[in-house]
Amino acid sequence: MQKNFIKKYWAKSFILFNLLFLPIQYLETAPWASPDDILVRHDLQILSDSGILDIPLNTWPIAWGDVAFNLNVENVSEVSPEVLLSLQRIRKKVIEEQIGGISANAEIKVAKNPDRIMTFFDPVNVKKMAASSSSYMSNNLAMNLKFEKTGTYQLLDESYISLARGNYSITLGSKKNWWGPGWMGSTVLSTNPRPIRGLSIERNFSDPFKNSVLSFLGSWDLAFILGDIKNTGLTPQRRFTALRLGIRPMDKLEIGYSKSAVICDKNNGCGFSKLIDGFLGSGDVYDLNTLDYRLSGEFNEIPYATYGQISGTSIDKSVGILGLETWGNFPDRKNFESYRVFTEFSSTTCGIFSGQSKYGCAYQNQEYPSAYHYNGSNIGNSLDGDSIAISFGGILVQDDTQIYKSTLAIGRMNRGSQPGYLFTENETDFLNFNIGYQFDLFWYEIPLGSFDVGLGFDIYKDKKSGSSEKEPRVYLAWTNGIDLSDNQNRDFSDYIDLIEVEAAMSVLTEEVAQDKEIIQFVSFNESELSSIISLIDQTAVDRGDNAFANYTPNFKSTDEIIDQLSESTNDISLSDYLTSVDETISKRN
């Protein structure tokens, strides 16, 4: 009886405890940056495009150690204001991630008509959810236990144990992944489904090859996933595998190649040979080859980047994404630090190269219907197969704790009305819009957590039945956490000098000082008061004021004045000194 009581109520008690006793700011003890933080991605991309950071950024999660090791801050005084601010935020993140030990986090999400289209902006996709997690991280070990309660499910998603050995990390459990340069979607692996449980291996540091033959590849990373996927009531449990290689052969160019496959039904035998078939390709598996790129540059001093991604079992059975983005700052708007806007086109219908649409062939075949799905959601693009869409989006960074964000997507889903696609049953036109505001809330000096509030609406029109759905949306998300240990378990300063970006910000002050008069207050510490007065006199002479050029007062040192003030005598009082100061000021004015 006692055992059943504990089993029934331990999870609720675990969530309630963390919700009630986490009065500190949101902290997440993890060795990597997760693919749901748009500000971190925005900042990392700015640093990469400015030449300060040279690592692949299209394979998420991204190891913080790799970021720290590859930050190049030698010419920080020459970069633009938005780059300095991004560097400041990333530097702060890197320092925070040196702290290991135990931490606890809590999270609440509520929404009316939650968003069904998942993007890198991490929209709220549940009506209500409460989650609590506890993490531990040391120099080589990271663990996380997360319990999530929704209206229907109790989940342990994003629970894992990860061990770093050499330049690789081996993880058992599940964590969010995003492979590709897109903001609105990925054709190969995204956060659209629940995180896939299983084994994953990642490279910790993207050091270039020292071999002269392979060094042209530049910085490179590697990721591997092996796990099980299942669509309840539709298909048997299947084994999924994915391998990705990302390289930076040029400063402004990143290229990625991914190989993903559904290799077998678990009840039909899944030996090592099936894993090899998934890597090499075989008629007995469903496999996708994916190639993506991101290339940045400038046009008329305006930064831009173009990116694309193509996935398919063959060239004539490919789907893809193509995007264009730009970013910068507002020189005349002091309330905002930086911005990023993008437009993105996606097609998940086979035949993007031939110009002839082939319905029903994307993300599945005859042997594996609905192959590329996990719990009813596409592992890659959230719009599922046979869809086409044009999207727009952007973020506006006000400061470290305030972000405005918005996305708009218009298109058509399941154009062939194929039963293997699970987002919608028939051909459907849609419009999806979101606008949100992320901020940290404080009560005096006490952080109350991070909030994400927003509005949106969806419009769906079934082309076959003629029915329409209009769904206005409002949502709220809250996160909070506490770090229960202040021990520094990892020392990133072994890799780089973590510069004080605040000092670099003085470069901006100097530029402003050329246009405006700025009074610099200097601490003279224990300098002689006579020296200070002489300095003022010399400055006055230099400025053309000769009234007191030959005036030499008899001043005492700071120590002498303090000693006299400390003496309790009737002959010398504080008022005497103040009167002397008043007389001096009167004479000099």
pLDDT 10s per residue in the chain (589 long)? 444 444 444 444 444 444 444 444 445 568 899 999 999 999 999 999 999 999 999 999 999 999 998 988 776 667 788 888 899 899 888 888 777 788 899 999 999 999 999 999 988 999 999 999 999 988 889 999 999 998 777 788 999 999 999 899 999 999 999 999 999 999 999 999 999 999 999 999 999 999 888 999 999 999 999 998 887 665 678 889 999 999 999 989 999 999 999 888 777 777 777 778 778 877 778 889 999 999 999 999 899 999 999 999 888 889 999 999 999 988 776 778 899 999 999 999 998 877 788 898 899 887 778 889 998 899 999 999 999 999 999 999 998 789 999 999 999 999 998 888 888 989 999 999 999 999 999 888 888 899 999 999 999 999 988 899 999 999 999 999 887 766 666 656 555 444 444 444 544 444 433 443 433 434 444 444 555 555 555 655 555 555 444 545 555 555 555 555 555 455 555 566 556 655 655 555 4
Contact 127, 148 (CB under 8 A): no
What's residue 76's pLDDT? Answer: 65
Give the integer Cα–Cα distance in Å for 474 and 300: 40
Instruction: Decide: helix, strand or coil at residue 9.
Output: helix
Give the integer Cα–Cα distance in Å for 379 and 227: 12
What's residue 518's pLDDT? Answer: 36
Instruction: Decide: helix, strand or coil at residue 86.
Output: helix
Give the integer Cα–Cα distance in Å for 184 and 188: 13
Give the integer Cα–Cα distance in Å for 540 and 532: 12
Contact 188, 260 (CB under 8 A): yes
What's residue 6's pLDDT? Answer: 40
Give the integer Cα–Cα distance in Å for 274 and 292: 26
End-to-end CA distance of the chain: 89
Give the integer Cα–Cα distance in Å for 573 and 176: 71
DSSP string, 112-154: ES---S--TT----SSEEEEEEEEEE-SSEEEEEEEEEESS-E
Tokens of 11: 């999870």
DSSP string, 483-534: E----B---GGGTS----HHHHTHHHHHHHHTTS--PPP---TT--HHHHHH
Contact 266, 237 (CB under 8 A): yes
The dihedral formed by the CA atoms of 422, 425, 428 and 433, expressed in degrees to the nearest 10: -40
DSSP string, 444-473: TTEEEEEEEEEEEEEEEEETTT--EEEEEE
Give the integer Cα–Cα distance in Å for 484 and 478: 20
Element of type H or E holding 375: none
Alpha helices, DSSP H only, in 202-317?
272-280
DSSP for residue 358: B
Closest by CA position to 346, among listed 302, 381, 316: 381
- CB under 8 Å to 24, separation ≥6 — which residues? 447, 480, 481, 482, 483
Closest by CA position to 427, among listed 462, 477, 380, 473: 462
519 CB neighbour count, 10 Å cutoff: 4
The dihedral formed by the CA atoms of 495, 496, 497 and 503, expressed in degrees to the nearest 10: -150
DSSP for residue 380: S
Tokens of 162: 């990860």
What's residue 514's pLDDT? Answer: 45
DSSP for residue 79: S
- Which amino acid would we find at residue 233? G
Contact 130, 108 (CB under 8 A): yes
Radius of gyration for the alpha carbons in the chain, expressed in angstroms and rounded: 30
Element of type H or E holding 383: none
Between the CA of residue 348 and those of 114, 345, 351, 355, 380, what are the distances in Å? 23, 10, 9, 13, 10
Instruction: Decide: helix, strand or coil at residue 21.
Output: coil
- CB under 8 Å to 481, separation ≥6 — which residues? 22, 24, 25, 26, 27, 28, 103, 104, 105, 106
What's residue 2's pLDDT? Answer: 41
The dihedral formed by the CA atoms of 114, 115, 121 and 126, expressed in degrees to the nearest 10: 40
- CB under 8 Å to 326, separation ≥6 — which residues? 302, 303, 304, 305, 340, 341, 342
Instruction: Decide: helix, strand or coil at residue 83.
Output: helix
